[in-house]
Structure formats: C-alpha cells, structure tokens
Structure 1
Amino acid sequence: MDFVIANWALILLALVSGGMLAWPLLQGGGGAGLSPAAAVQRINREKAVVIDVCQPEEFAAGHVGGARSIPMSELEAKLPGAVKNKATPLVMVCASGVRARRAVAIARKLGYEKAEVLAGGMKSWRDANLPIEK
C-alpha cells in the first residue's frame, strides 16, 4: 500500500497511457487501417469490394480499379443496395483516409463487420505505385 501511495502519479500515468492505447480497439477501429499491400491481398484473396466515398469529381480524377463510387453523403442509403452480402469484406477509400474512417463506422453500424479503411487513402495507393483507373 505504501508503494501505491508513494507512486500514485506513475500509476495514474500508466493507467492513462494504457487507456489511450486501448481506445482504438474499444471503438472498433483496430488501428491505422490497411496498408495498400494488405488491401490488394484482401481484394485478391478474399474478394473484398472497394467502396470509394469521394465526391464524383474526385472519383473521376482517379480511383482504385474496380472500386464502386458511393459518395459519403449517400453511403447509408446506397451501401445495402450495392453490397447485399454483409459478410463481404469492404475496403473503404477516400482521398486521405479521413472520410473513409467515418464510412467504416457507418458500414459497421449497417452490419458490415468486415469493413476496413485504406490507411492514407488514395494518396498512399498512389505512393505505392499501384494502378489507378480514370
């Protein structure tokens, strides 16, 4: 007990830092998302569907090959019609990954438990020199 009293600040710091590390897991984020290489593996091995949540003009400027365009504002209404099987893995993509993180939360709320974000979005896809369709 003397140890706890004498080192309360260190114990508090350890608890707070542990909580901060566990927060993404508790929210269901699971970390930073898929790297471009991991996304390609998910697409090829598990037949994941790529959902691009960018605006139509961003999508037209360049997107992952075979991606389906569902703008973020229409995702909740259009995703169930676009991907009927909720067990299908989804890779959510946007320009930088920020909107796609919100899209993953919406998809999971709709029952798509295998929805994941492409970390870094189209920027990371381009940086990895992966093919882009226009």
Structure 2
Amino acid sequence: MSMNGNSPMADPTVTSTVTPAALQLLTSGGRGPLLLDVRTTGEFRTVHIPGARNIPLDVLRAHRDDLLDHLDAETVLVCHSGARAAQARELLADAGLSGLPVLDGGMVAWELADAPVERGPARWTLERQVRLVAGSVVLTTGLAGLVVPGLHLVGTAIGAGLTFAALTNTCALGMLLSRLPYNRGPRADLSTAVTALRAPR
C-alpha cells in the first residue's frame, strides 16, 4: 500500500497516513484496501467514500476483539478529520493489529480533493456539534456571570476540558453527543458491524 511515511506494518507508535490522492489511486482499480469509517452512523449516512464500511468508534471500542478477525493490514481508517480514526488505530494496535494507516485529514480532506462520495440526508458533523455545545455554554455562562458571581467558572471548566481533549486526542463531550438519536441513525451493533465487514469489497 503506497502511503506517506512508513509501512502500515511498521512500529505501532508510527503515525502512518495516506493522502486522499494516494487513496484514490489505490481504490480506482477495483479491489482496494478495506475502508473502515469510524464516524457515527448518522455522519456516515450523510456522506461517505463509496465502498466504505461503517463501524462507529464506540462499537469498535466495545467489540474490538470480536471484529479483529474481519480486519487485516489492508485497512485504511477514516473519520471526519482524522482524530477518531487515530483513536481507532490505537485500539486496534493494542489488540495486535498495529500500524493501520489513517486517511490524512479525513472526510474533510477527501471532499476538498473533490474525490468521489455518496451522499444522504444532510446533518451536522460531530465536531461541529461539539463546537456548538461548548461555545453556547461558554457564551451563556460568561454573560450570566455578569449577574451571578462565579458562574463564569463553568466556561473555564469547559475550556479546560477542551484543552484536555486536544492533548489526549479524546473528547468526552463528543462521545456523549455520539449517543444521541440524531447521531446514531440506524442501530449500530456487533451483528451489523460483522455483516458490513463480511460484504465483498
């Protein structure tokens, strides 16, 4: 698999990525790598790469060992911007499947490259929802803090949480929002995930 940087079977600490242009070449000749999209089912239905399989990150986290037999080194991890795909790579590396490449820049970069996509009903991405909720809380508590002393500290706590999320490449607020019916779409469970992975590429 032609990628930026190191081979996908390299040291699991290596952060291998594949560019949208390189991935288009890999998938243009018919059978290519397995594209594992770890966004929520709602995000996936909105827009995804043709032929990609959707296993939301929370499903992968809960059933990683059961899904491992259906994955191999010819797998590219995809999400909105690359952050959740990187988390998925770490989960799979811990289980023994190390060094899987991540689509560099995620679906944002893929669409900017004018690469082919399949679209469904439009909805907000999880990252945009996080920005809305966090920003609204900070704005509301900041204004209310002018009247209620100390309330502005809620905004400080939100800022601390976002800083921690950036440093650890995790997001508790995002994980909570991903469980909302708006984001879940059709039910995503182990049976659905296995069926998706078994389908011919």
1:131 CA drift (Å): 0.6
Structure 2 residue aligned with 1:98, among 83, 92, 96? 83
The sequence identity of aligned pairs, in percent, is 30
Deviations 1:61-112 (A, max 9, x none): 1001111111111113445555635544111111111111111111222222
Structure 2 residue aligned with 1:38, among 11, 19, 22? 22
Q: Which residue of 2 aligns with 1:110?
A: 95
1:43 CA drift (Å): 4.0
Q: 5 Å matches for 1:25-104?
A: 28-30=13-15, 33-43=17-27, 47-78=32-63, 81=66, 84=69, 86-104=71-89
Quick one: which amino acid aligns to residue 24 of structure 2?
V
Gap regions ≥5 residues in structure 2:
1-9, 120-201
In 1, the alpha carbon distance for the partners of 2:25 and 2:61 equals 26
Structure 1 contact 53–69 (Cα < 8 Å) conserved: yes
Q: Against the structure 1 CA distance between its residues 105 and 112, is the aligned structure 2 distance closer, same or farther, given a 3 Å change threshold?
A: same
In 1, the alpha carbon distance for the partners of 2:56 and 2:26 equals 22
Q: Against the structure 1 CA distance between its residues 36 and 88, is the aligned structure 2 distance closer, same or farther, given a 3 Å change threshold?
A: same
Gap regions ≥5 residues in structure 1:
1-24
3-state SS in 2 of match to 1:129: coil
In 1, the alpha carbon distance for the partners of 2:108 and 2:65 equals 27
Structure 1 contact 48–91 (Cα < 8 Å) conserved: yes
1:114 CA drift (Å): 4.9
1:26 CA drift (Å): 7.2
1:124 CA drift (Å): 0.4
1:39 CA drift (Å): 2.1
Compute the RMSD of aligned alpha carbons. Answer: 2.6
3-state SS in 2 of match to 1:59: helix
Deviations 1:1-37 (A, max 9, x none): xxxxxxxxxxxxxxxxxxxxxxxx9762335x11112
- With the length of structure 2 as denominator, give the TM-score of the two structures: 0.47
Q: Against the structure 1 CA distance between its residues 34 and 48, is the aligned structure 2 distance closer, same or farther, given a 3 Å change threshold?
A: same
Structure 1 contact 70–78 (Cα < 8 Å) conserved: no
Q: Against the structure 1 CA distance between its residues 71 and 34, is the aligned structure 2 distance closer, same or farther, given a 3 Å change threshold?
A: same
1:122 equivalenced with 2:113 (yes/no): no
